[in-house]
Structure 1
């Protein structure tokens, strides 16, 4: 398809109460690539909506649509459906969904941001695929569309020519990945630096930090142990040791962790140690063995296994990706 294109037509689909950042992160990042890269095939971005109506974003600002969704024709380079509070109404609109399905057939790649995955799923574009969405809405998407393998962890997922991004600013990460795919890593890094992003995150990075993703547990005992684990990942954090520290039985502690954190103490500790290791890998040059010791793993191999289970990549590959994307 690109061989017939002098530029790269990009269509961003909005609708009533779409999320402004879902749209702006994409449009601004592509525009900056055009400005900084002198691309031989620049991106030509249009924001469209059903009937060409203004897009009243949930934030109170209104975007002017550049074209009616119904009048858009291909071929397109990239079709992106935004998310937002109006995603359920959008996914229930057969005309909107039908035009998304039509345009996907005429696009080199199709993507969604945040709850825009609900629209792609309604169009049947995620059937048999692995996809992500904002962590808050992942369970609902999985329940309504059992043919979709919903993974709430990554910030974006590429499955064939369909991509789904997690929540809001992950649109920036996905767009940077598209720029890297189209024009190479150097332009993606330049755009990332001009956007003043800390780094261009790989898609397999988890959406949420373990200690900021949700409010602290209401239970004082569990909250105290969560804080202790965060500060001392290299200590003895066995269930028996934590129970002894809290003055309860191991069985009672396990019940409290399941009730307030949704997982066993052992699983929580492994996750906390793995995320702590990820932070050290991204911010230090410590050898893997030293990272493993500082985070409570018995060996570099134990760290490697935990990292692959959590992120799907080895610690060394994760570090190399972080270093490349940070411009080091």
Structure 2
């Protein structure tokens, strides 16, 4: 066998062959155009280091960052009929579900978990925008209700990380029915006296913002998140006016009283934990007399003796 053909030529081909680079290796910042290495972005909680732009992040990672040590227990949610209306547009609804389940590894857009946050019990639900835009369907509505019922049963605060384009059109009226159903779940939390905290991420729009996402005790928005019902273009065409710059952004809504605070992603955990402590009126346990050390007890006895001796003086008797 000719050694040139068997050894030299294959090595030359390998040198000249174009190496394939994964598409998601570098991520571009939408604000500045800066290219960020995906591992650096993930290590910074999907916040671009220089610009501070908050990128969308996977729902599972939200749960890992929210719960202590990334440890939590997933809550089983009721199963629903996959395609109740036999809907089809450019492709069948069942095919879309299959594609999104394969892409995300989840059955639907909302999943619920419980665990510890700074040592306290919490229940949380996450809407994953990667699953059909986080749209609200029957499965998502059932998951949110299951999470709220779990919070009531365990007497824990309920935290919702909302990210959605609205109701799922492939389920029609059955999707819209989840808006009042989840509202009943919110009322259950209020009757039980449990905090309901909503974190509005980018984007939170449509039927989700028109129902449970705007019914929280406290509304927290991430910086730059788009929050509203209809899109900017639809509103401008309807009212035939130009909307102000930054309309429907988290900062604009904060300025106009639609959200309570805008909190950076790195500070969300501490902020939510502190808020729930205030809403639940958590009291700090003070030491009792039995818990005091002998040194502290001795100091207290000495103070008592001093006060008693001063009260026995003639001046004290004259004052009496």
Q: Give the structure-1-normalised TM-score.
A: 0.31
Higher relative contact order at CA 8 Å, sep ≥6: structure 1 or structure 2?
A: 1
Greater share of helix: 1
Q: Give the structure-2-normalised TM-score.
A: 0.32
